[in-house]
Chain A
Amino acid sequence: MNKRDVIDNQQLHAALTTNKRPTPPNPLNAVFTFAWRALLKVKHQPEQLLDVAALPILFLLMFTYLFGGAIAGSTKEYLQFILPGILVQTVTQITMYTGMELNKDIQKGFFDRQRTLPIWLPSSLIGALLVDSLRYIIASTVMVSFALILGFRPQGGIIGVGLAVALLIIFCFSLSWIWNTLALIMRSEQTLMMTSMMVIFPLTFLSSAFVDPSTMPRFLEGFVKINPISLLVDAVRGLMHGIASGQDVLWVLLSSAILIVIFAPLTMYLYRNKK
């Protein structure tokens, strides 16, 4: 038998008696520790980055060449219009990572340990959301770079594109709290994923992402105009092409704030009182 595979009583006793209780970590340190945890998961399973690297390219090619001719007359022209739309669609579709990890933690029992630690409780979710933001940046970079090769010419320049991505990240960070809330209610990752897909898919299609709303029937146009995803797409598109108004941006910031104000406290309430 391997001698090192046994409990060493002397060492154990030393380990038990020599340590003093440190002061609990401040919220920032706890947030960073949870971000580190999420990064370690990527390290152990790099293939989970596939959807932020490959999916954007796939979507971009599909939509540009499938609809380009029919909708805008030429693919190059359509690309100018659709890139911000596909970007929003792709990135909003990867906002459920933190929620899914939370759901997994609950199933596996790690959640119980987190709740008995002397930490600021939201830090576990905020840390994971920071790493999600990194995913959004990767996905955006991949998609915009590829689009540039295909002929995308943003009039807003690098600053416009940067601001657009920043706004997208803020919105997605806020949107994630809906999935966090659902993660605490739903029984499995699969149901959570299905539900989020059922919300995201229609919302992104029934928006200004792919088609100009003025071409839609009246009842649909009404809905599309108040759809927060449309507001986001309009702002992102406007920033990229240098034609966004302050109001466009403000609407997105406002809807982000509303999402946070409702779903972050709800998440934490459910988090504290789970089972």
Chain B
Amino acid sequence: MVRAADYAIEAHGLVKKFGDFTAVDGIDLMIEQGSIFGFLGPNGAGKTTTVRMLATLLKPDGGNATVFGYDVSTETKEVRQRISLTGQYASIDEELSGIENLVMIARLMGYARKDARKRAEELLAAFGLTEAAKKQVKNYSGGMRRRLDIAASIVVTPDLLFLDEPTTGLDPRSRNQVWDVVRALTKAGTTVLLTTQYLEEADQLADRIAVINKGKIIAEGTASELKSSVGTGMLHVRLVNSSDREKAETVLSKRLGTVIYESSRDSELRTKVENASVATQALADLEQAGVMVAEFSLGQPSLDEVFLALTAE
């Protein structure tokens, strides 16, 4: 039976406690089918715990959630038939070879012996692992392991794939490969929920992003919505003499009425601006005050700035 559901994931007030510690503290989610949803947050924010509850591996202590209309705590079998999970630690058997792992998963999904082998070979070829097929996985590099892990998750193309920090610890080339796979998956109609600590990753991949901190969602929206929630724009100014910093801060905050963000270099100043004309006035003020400006730019804040602004509160 296929249940009509508008959303791939719908969660209301999810709570998970470990003893006195509340890991997830009332999370609401609406994730559209076929989209890539990014869960962004620092270590220990509650990302993995939330994913494990949605993937039927943990029972929520409060609230409820459905996956394609099926309840994650009471209809686990129906949910499990539609999802796949790639955890933070490779969910494959390191003592077996790559092909043995995939054949085993395919058999457990219900493929006949011959079809399982065919499917395994097809996936190994697609993931560039044909040459390493017969090597034990414990001899794989981090990137190869991650690719095999994702291949194991799509032996049967899932309707919903959970990717828990899929690129943590990977080199840039392997990371780009993982991103390609995620994009290919959505083209094939799969909904992806991905957790990440990297803002760039969320920015690159996700249609919508939820910023999670201390078990709560503190902001949600598209990357550009999140950026504009922090301010319409961000003014960057680089001074010729870093000794002018104090003077420049006073001038800018007087004109703009905003906080100047801390930065790693004294010569660099960043602040929110309402619009371009205020920004030009501010720059004119700087010149009048005798502060020499080496470089300036006006643009959308980066997700990094959004993240820092949101989690600072």
User: Which residues in A have some Cβ–Cβ distance to B below 8 Å?
Assistant: 2, 4-9, 11-17, 19, 21-25, 29-30, 33, 36-37, 40-41, 44-45, 105, 108-110, 112-113, 115-119, 273, 275
Q: CB distance B110 to A116 under 8 Å?
A: no
Contact B122 A15 (CB under 8 A): yes
Given A4-B131, A21-B156, A110-B92 contact (CB < 8 Å): yes
Q: A8-B126, A15-B126 are in contact. Are A37 and B93 (CB under 8 A)?
A: yes
Q: Which of B94-102, B210-218, B248-256, B293-301 binds A? A: B94-102
Q: A22 to B154, alpha carbons, bound, how many Å?
A: 13
Instruction: Say whether B147 faces chain A, with CB atoms less than 8 Å apart.
Output: yes
Decide yes or no: A44 and B95 within 8 Å by CB, A22-B111, A29-B107 being known contacts: yes
Cα distance A24–B107 in the bound complex, in angstroms: 9
Interface residue ranges of B167-184 to A (CB < 8 Å):
177, 180-181, 184
Q: Is B50 an interface residue (CB 8 A)?
A: no
* Cα separation A4 to B124 with both chains bound (whole Å): 10
Q: Tell whether, in the assembled complex, residue A17 and residue B157 are in contact, meaning their CB atoms are under 8 Å apart.
A: yes
Q: Which B residues touch A44, using CB under 8 A?
A: 95-97, 136
Let me know if A117 and B157 touch, CB within 8 A: no
Pick the contact of B184: A16, A45, A105 (CB < 8 A): A16
7 sample A-B contacts, Cβ–Cβ < 8 Å, listed by A number: A15-B126, A15-B154, A24-B110, A33-B107, A36-B107, A118-B110, A119-B108
- With beta carbons under 8 angstroms apart, the residue of A5, A33, A116, A119 that contacts B55 is A116
Which B residues, 56 to 73, have Cβ-Cβ distances below 8 Å to chain A? 56-59
Known interface pairs A44-B96, A109-B91; 8 further A-B residue pairs with C-beta atoms within 8 A, sorted by A's residue number: A4-B128, A8-B125, A17-B188, A19-B119, A19-B156, A22-B111, A115-B56, A116-B84
* CA A113 to CA B109, docked complex, whole Å: 12
Specify which of B104, B109, B177 is in contact with A7 (CB 8 Å cutoff). B177
The segment from B30-38, B75-83, B197-205, B262-270 found at the interface with A is B75-83
List 8 tightest A-B contacts by C-beta distance, closest first.
A22-B110, A109-B89, A113-B91, A16-B188, A11-B126, A12-B126, A33-B107, A15-B126
Smallest Cβ-Cβ distance to A105: which chain B residue: B93
User: For B187, what are the chain A residues with a Cβ–Cβ distance below 8 Å?
Assistant: 13, 16
B311 near A: Cβ within 8 Å? no
**Which residues does chain A contribute within 8 Å of B115, judged by CB atoms?**
22
Within 8 A of A (CB), among B122-161: 122-123, 125-128, 130-131, 136, 147, 152, 154, 156-157
List residues of chain A with CB within 8 A of the CB of B190.
Answer: 16
Contact yes or no, A11 B125, CB < 8 A? yes
CA distance A17 to B122 in the complex (A): 12
Q: Which of B57, B81, B136 contacts A115 (CB 8 A)?
A: B57
- In the complex, what residue of chain A is closest to B79 when comparing beta carbons? A116
- Min Cβ gap A137→B in Å is 23
A14-B152 contact, Cβ under 8 Å, with A108-B89, A118-B109? no
Does B85 touch A at the CB level, under 8 Å? yes
Task: Say yes or no: is B260 at the interface (Cβ < 8 Å to chain A).
Answer: no
Q: Report B-chain residues with C-beta under 8 Å of the C-beta of A30.
A: 107-108
- Bound-state CA distance A14–B131 (Å) is 20
Q: Does B87 contact A (CB under 8 A)?
A: yes
How many whole Å from A78's CB to the nearest CB in chain B?
41
Complex: how many Å from CA A187 to CA B233? 51
In the assembled complex, the CB of B293 is this many whole angstroms from the nearest CB of chain A, namely 44
Q: Is A23 touching B94 in the complex (CB atoms < 8 A)?
A: no
Most buried by A among B97, B126, B127: B126
A127: shortest Cβ distance to chain B, in Å? 10
Q: CA–CA, A7 to B87, complex, Å?
A: 21
Check if B177 sits within 8 Å of A116, measured CB to CB.
no
Verify if B292 is at the interface (C-beta below 8 Å from A).
Answer: no
Query: Does the CB pair B91–A110 fall under 8 Å?
Result: yes
B125 near A108 with CB under 8 A, answer no
B157 touches A16 (CB 8 A): yes
Contact of B57 among A23, A25, A112, A117 (CB under 8 A): A112
Given contacts A7-B181, A40-B100, A119-B108, contact A15 B123 (CB under 8 A): yes
Identify which of B97, B108, B180 contacts A33 (C-beta below 8 A). B108
A11 near B109: Cβ-Cβ < 8 Å: no
Chain A residues lying within 8 Å of B91, measured Cβ to Cβ, are 109-110, 112-113
Taking A16-B184, A37-B96, A273-B59 as contacts, is the C-beta distance between A8 and B128 under 8 angstroms? yes
- Tell me the complex Cα distance, A35–B123, Å: 24
Asked whether, in the complex, the Cβ of B95 is within 8 Å of the Cβ of A118, the reply is no
Determine the distance from Cα of A25 to Cα of B81 in the docked complex, in whole angstroms.
Answer: 12
- Residues on A with C-beta less than 8 A from B89 are 108-109
Of A8, A15, A110, A116, the contact of B56 (CB 8 Å cutoff): A116
Residue of A nearest to B58 (CB): A275
Q: Tell whether A16 pairs with B154 under 8 Å between CB atoms, given A24-B109, A36-B104, A116-B57.
A: yes
